[in-house]
Structure 1
Amino acid sequence: MSTVNVDTTSPSPRARAVILGAVATLVATAIHHVYGGVRYATPWRLHGAAVALALCVPIALAYAGYRRSPGTRAGRIAGGSLAALALAFPVTSIGLFEGAYNHLAKNVLFFAGAPRDLLLRMFPPPTYELPSDAFFEITGVGQIVPAAITAIAALGLIGDLRRRVTRLAPGTVLGARELVGVHGERIRIPDPTRIVHLQLRRFAGCPVCNLHLRSITVRHDEIAAAGIREVVVFHSSADELRLHAGGLPFAVVPDPEKRLYAELGAEPSLLSVFDPRVWPIIVHSVARSAIAILRGRERPPALIPTGGRFGLPADFLVAPDGRVLASKYGEHAGDQWSVDEVLALTRAPAVSSVRAAAERGAASVLDGGSASRLPTRCSPG
């Protein structure tokens, strides 16, 4: 792919997962320690809750510093500090020590019938309490969950900081490429006569994707009349897509190896499904898909879909000359342009002039060198 004006200053999508996971862990341990301090008359636990909440401040400051200037040296230092603070406190001190050792291991040994002498040696009072209160033990073990999410996100953030996240900014020029559709058709990007709305979706049968693409299907004639060609890519195989999306009225492209996702900077993230903003969309889409599956109108997605369940969507408007006119990188599974937003973007003066030129056949086509295509194994057969 030939590109210019690539945005190398975009923050990693994992940074938000780190701060949400870290703060959730710290708040969870504060609740746990306040309850334990009152329940067992141990004031030092209240102090522990205060320290946990206080740690939210440096973590938030590190996150803000990284978000402010992720492409600078100072921003990368702030991002590294965010990952280090998260791994040191929410993950190690709370998740591993407090949650896994102090509570999970203690409860496993206790309910497995370990000798009391062994339990008292491993968990001596008054620092520890043998299981006697369900809420205290449940909240203690529960700290492991947000800490585990934080650990995965923090390690991913460190990897992103080392290689730097690359995203396509408006003005980026894409080299010519030929994609292979789900039915074997050849799809040229850029299209010499139309603006392409290139969508990077998730996996075949994804309920959130199905809900969104239904809105595209219903208004596809209106989209086409605006001079826009829809091209939708999934990180699934052609065989999977023929079962779930073979009848859509626009181009559907399989990319099971996620090569196009990597080229365009679309990264997966735990927040694709753990971001609270997507939960109402998930409930709605899963309910709709469940009814459609029961009626035989849809098939259930694979239990372990190709490319995983944590993909994030991305949208691009690509002009006939290869320029990216607009781009959007979703922050969760349901964060993409609506039909109204796509149509509104095409009515913007800069985009309208491009569309008019394309309709007159006057737009030039940038080949960017040799055309590229996804591997032939992405195509049927």
Structure 2
Amino acid sequence: MKLVSGQKAPSFVTKDIFGNTIDLNQIPSEKILLSFFRYAECAMCNLQIAKMMKHKDLFAQKGIQLIAVFESPADSLKSSIANRHQFDFPIIADTNRELYDLYKVNPSWLKTLRTMSVKGMQHLNEATKKGFKAGGKVEGTLHQIPADFLIGKDKIIQIAHYGNSVIDHLPLEEIF
């Protein structure tokens, strides 16, 4: 059963790609945006990270700590994400899908097929123009669908957004 707004966010303790401990209950920021992605070389995932990084000052102003979760191993995330984006947020390599399972973030072939729309193709075109390789190395579930959780300081989920396609993340305007 999917998580919903008003529900206590499932707590976790894990390591980011650099070995730093991430304890959901110990994050002091006003809010947390926990975003689930596919894999390190996913062009559309990299485009979303780039969009978020454009607004990193606004994230800081609003007291929102971003945490990104991918299925890829740490080494791949370091080379594909960390070396490409100027980021200052934890990235978690969840190769065993423990957080995906905890937050009920599931793959779907039907939702992946929905990405093959005009909007999806425009999104992919935008990603490739920015230098993100279409059809990169798949390290995880090809048909993984993204999800985003805006979590309050009290660790209650304010917004639970499960994507309807590979490009469907919680709109940044809604987060801010």
How far the C-alpha of 1:289 sits from its partner, in A, is 2.6
Deviating beyond 6 angstroms after TM superposition, the runs of 4 or more aligned structure 1 residues are none
Pairing 1:268–2:107 present: yes
State whether residues 268 and 311 of structure 1, in contact with CA within 8 Å, keep that contact through their aligned partners in structure 2.
yes
Q: How many Å separate the matches in 1 of 2:115 and 2:21? A: 39
How far the C-alpha of 1:210 sits from its partner, in A, is 1.1
Q: Counterpart in 2 of 1:212? A: 48
Over the aligned positions, Cα root-mean-square deviation in angstroms equals 2.2
Q: How many Å separate the matches in 2 of 1:284 and 1:334? A: 8
- The structure whose Rg is larger is 1
**What is the percent sequence identity of the aligned residues?**
24
Q: 1:185 to 1:318 in 2, by over 3 A?
A: same
The one-letter code sitting in structure 2 at the alignment partner of 1:309 is L
> Which structure has more strand as a fraction of its residues?
2
Write out per-residue CA displacement over residues 222-267 of structure 1, whole angstroms, 9 at most, x where no aligned residue. 1111010000101111111111111433211110111111111111
The one-letter code sitting in structure 1 at the alignment partner of 2:145 is L
Q: 1:259 to 1:196 in 2, by over 3 A?
A: same
The one-letter code sitting in structure 2 at the alignment partner of 1:264 is Y
Q: What is the aligned residue count?
A: 172
Write out per-residue CA displacement over residues 104-139 of structure 1, whole angstroms, 9 at most, x where no aligned residue. xxxxxxxxxxxxxxxxxxxxxxxxxxxxxxxxxxxx
Q: 1:251 to 1:174 in 2, by over 3 A?
A: same
Q: Counterpart in 2 of 1:64? A: none
Write out per-residue CA displacement over residues 156-191 of structure 1, whole angstroms, 9 at most, x where no aligned residue. xxxxxxxxxx11111211354222111112222142
Q: 1:276 to 1:239 in 2, by over 3 A?
A: closer
Q: How many Å separate the matches in 1 of 2:121 and 2:115? A: 10
The one-letter code sitting in structure 1 at the alignment partner of 2:28 is P
Aligned residue for 2:155, secondary structure, equals coil
2:74 to 238, 241, 244: 238
State whether residues 182 and 246 of structure 1, in contact with CA within 8 Å, keep that contact through their aligned partners in structure 2.
no
Q: 1:192 to 1:275 in 2, by over 3 A?
A: same
Q: 1:286 to 1:258 in 2, by over 3 A?
A: farther
Structure 2: gaps of 5 or more residues = none
Report 1 or 2 for greater relative contact order, CA contacts < 8 Å, sequence distance ≥ 6. 2
State whether residues 145 and 164 of structure 2, in contact with CA within 8 Å, keep that contact through their aligned partners in structure 1.
yes
Normalised by the length of structure 1, the TM-score is 0.42
Q: How many Å separate the matches in 1 of 2:88 and 2:50? A: 11
The one-letter code sitting in structure 2 at the alignment partner of 1:174 is A
Q: How many Å separate the matches in 2 of 1:249 and 1:235? A: 19
How far the C-alpha of 1:341 sits from its partner, in A, is 1.6
State whether residues 29 and 65 of structure 2, in contact with CA within 8 Å, keep that contact through their aligned partners in structure 1.
no
> Which structure has more helix as a fraction of its residues?
1
